[in-house]
Amino acid sequence: MLSTLETNLIQRVCVGDMLYRTTERFPNKIAIVDGDVTLTYKQFNEKVNQVARTLLQKGFQKGDIVATMCENTHEFVITYFACAKSGLVVMPLNIKLAIDNLAYQLNQSETKVIVFTQSSKEKLNSLIELVPSLQELYMTEVEEEFMLGGKKIFPFSQLVSGDISEVEVVIEDRDTFQLMYTSGTTSKPKGVQTSHLAIYISTLGTSLQYKLDHNDSSVVVLPLFHVGGLTCILLPNILVGGTNVLIRQYNASHILNAMEQYRTTWTMLSAPMWLEISDQPGLSGRDFSSMRLCVCAIATLPQSRHKQVKSVFNNADIILISGQTEFNPPNAAQRPEQGSTSAWGPPVVAQSAKIMDDHGNLLPPGEIGEIVYRGPQSMTCYFKDPKSTSSAFEYGWFHSGDLGYIDEDNVVWFVDRKKDMIKTGGENVASVEVELVVRNHTKVAECAAVGLPHERWSEAITIFAKLNEGESLEEKELLDFCKERLSGFKVPKKIVFVKELPITASGKVQKHELRKEYYDLFNIEEVNS
């Protein structure tokens, strides 16, 4: 009679098995490039097994949380898969967050282990006394133990030693594997608790959506502590045996050099990133013919700029994908022929998308309501937050918080975040529509449209615009540009030029921060006048 473990190993869905099976197919294929470090799948898998075994030997048990405070490094990827194989829960932390936010996440999760890079050393020094649950801390880029904040810090290399054979423990399909906090564009971040099954299904679907195989390779510059870099690039590549070229910090020139040097075939970047790299000088003499797919995240490219990106990567399809942490993106993906439109595309293969009104009724094609999802990519719940979980799953669908409609071809069209719709003078205006127009101005690098309190208009459409480096632009010129392209009630009441926009690590503009900072903008102007 089979033991529980033997049965589990035959039948289970485990993210760690993804790496093991790819290693069996392509042991000598390059899996990870991280600066001077290059790992084949065999080398990568052996290091993962060593770290997994060491953590278990130290007494950490199934369900214990291991946090990472890392840039896009091979140590992050090794730790991620080590947790998958050992039944531990991995919690990638956004290294750009303030101390209080990081402490909140670590304390709520009762994290016991942290793996961190040199760049996070000072933050960790502050966190040690704020997070009593921490037991062991491992730093990359050092070889000797040292003290920090009264705690001993161990070199990461101490985890990478010993037995390289496969780790075999019972892992159930719906066991929690990943705890990742939302980016907090509209409210306080919530912990998203996700199973092995959800991540595996998402990875399978994405690989199919992108038509990936072992001949593919990608630069990975979107942060791995966010689903954009993790579930939309890294994991699909690993599933099929592709190569991941890790880039620790965004730099347009470095990305282009890596694409050319490693003959990468695809990648995903945010819309502003695609625009910046296509604006770099000297591109006409360079060879990017290997690129077959350019995936755009977060925001669509204006049509004029879409042509510009296409002129650089002329062999590539350019598509938009959308999704959110709670549903392990992508959730909708354009077909290549839709790439120059603002459509989100049809839902991906493993899920359904519908439009729902505020009373739980599903709406017919063409009607605007909230985009809702069903499918095995779904999170299990919000961590320690049953009220928010219940609200998110109301009426038997996951509520995205996005407004949109679905056409007769089952293509999802995004209108706006529910909280970002601007109600001005009795009319509803989608902030995204205004932003698309403003982004089409050749001097504008990025922008955000928000509604600010106004005595006459209720909410006044306000544009916060960041200009391309070295450019100057008068407010009247940009307003006139908008008047030529928008209905009168959709034209911004004011343009505010800013040096930087508040953004999340994934590149999303934090509009709630703009609303908070400029809440009294129009009242102040009236007083001053």
Give per-residue pLDDT as tens, 356-367. Answer: 999 999 999 999
pLDDT at 47: 98
Work out whether strand 398-406 and strand 369-374 pair parallel, antiparallel, or are unpaired: antiparallel
As to burial, measured by CB atoms within 10 angstroms (0-12 exposed, 13-18 middle, 19+ buried), residue 27 is: middle
* φ and ψ at residue 178, rounded to 5 degrees: -130, 135
CB distance 224 to 77 below 8 Å: yes
Whether the CB-CB separation of 432 and 404 falls below 8 Å is answered with no
The pLDDT of residue 527: 42
> Is a pLDDT exceeding 70 seen at residue 186?
no
Q: How confident is the model at residue 188 (pLDDT cuts 50, 70, 90)?
A: low
Which of 439, 391, 435 minimizes the C-alpha distance to 417?
435
Reply yes or no on whether the pLDDT at 136 is more than 80: yes
Q: Express as a percent the part of the chain with pLDDT over 70.
A: 97
Q: Are 242 and 479 in contact (CB under 8 A)?
A: no
Q: Look up tokens 């003290």; give the residue.
A: 147
For all residues of the chain together, what is the average pLDDT?
93
Mean pLDDT calculated for residue range 164-171: 97
Q: Which residues contact 520 (CB under 8 A, 6 or more apart)?
A: 453
pLDDT category at 458 given cuts 50, 70, 90 is confident
Q: Out of 172-181, 187-196, 390-399, which region has the weakest mean confidence (pLDDT)?
A: 187-196
Greater confidence (276 vs 92) lies with 92
Residue with the two structure tokens 């890596």:
258
pLDDT at 46 over 90: yes
Classify domain 424-528 at the CATH topology level: GMP Synthetase; Chain A, domain 3 (3.30.300)
Question: How is residue 285 written in tokens?
Answer: 């003499």
Cα separations in angstroms, 119 against 30, 115, 124, 269, 461: 27, 12, 10, 23, 39
pLDDT tens string 216-226: 999 999 999 99
DSSP at 362: B
What is the spatial distance between Cα 176 and Cα 378, in angstroms, rounded to a whole number? 12
Name the maximum alpha-carbon separation found in the chain. Answer: 85
Q: Residue 512 belongs to what H/E stretch? A: helix 511-517
For residue 271, pLDDT beyond 90: no
Q: Which helix (H) or strand (E) holds 45?
A: helix 41-57
Would you place residue 529 in the very low, low, confident or very high pLDDT band (cuts 50, 70, 90)? Answer: very low
- Provide the pLDDT confidence category of residue 185 given band limits of 50, 70 and 90: very low
| Residues 6 or more apart whose Cβ sits within 8 Å of residue 17 | none
Q: Any idea which fold 4-186 has?
A: Rossmann fold (3.40.50)
Q: In which residue ranges of the chain is CATH 3.40.50.12780 found?
A: 4-186
Q: Where in the chain is the domain with CATH 3.30.300.30?
A: 424-528
Question: What pLDDT is stored for residue 299 in this prediction?
Answer: 72
pLDDT, position 162: 93
Q: Please report the pLDDT score of residue 102 as a whole number.
A: 93
Name 6's bridge partners: none
Taking the alpha carbons of 153, 74, 20, 64 in that order, is the dihedral positive or negative? Answer: positive
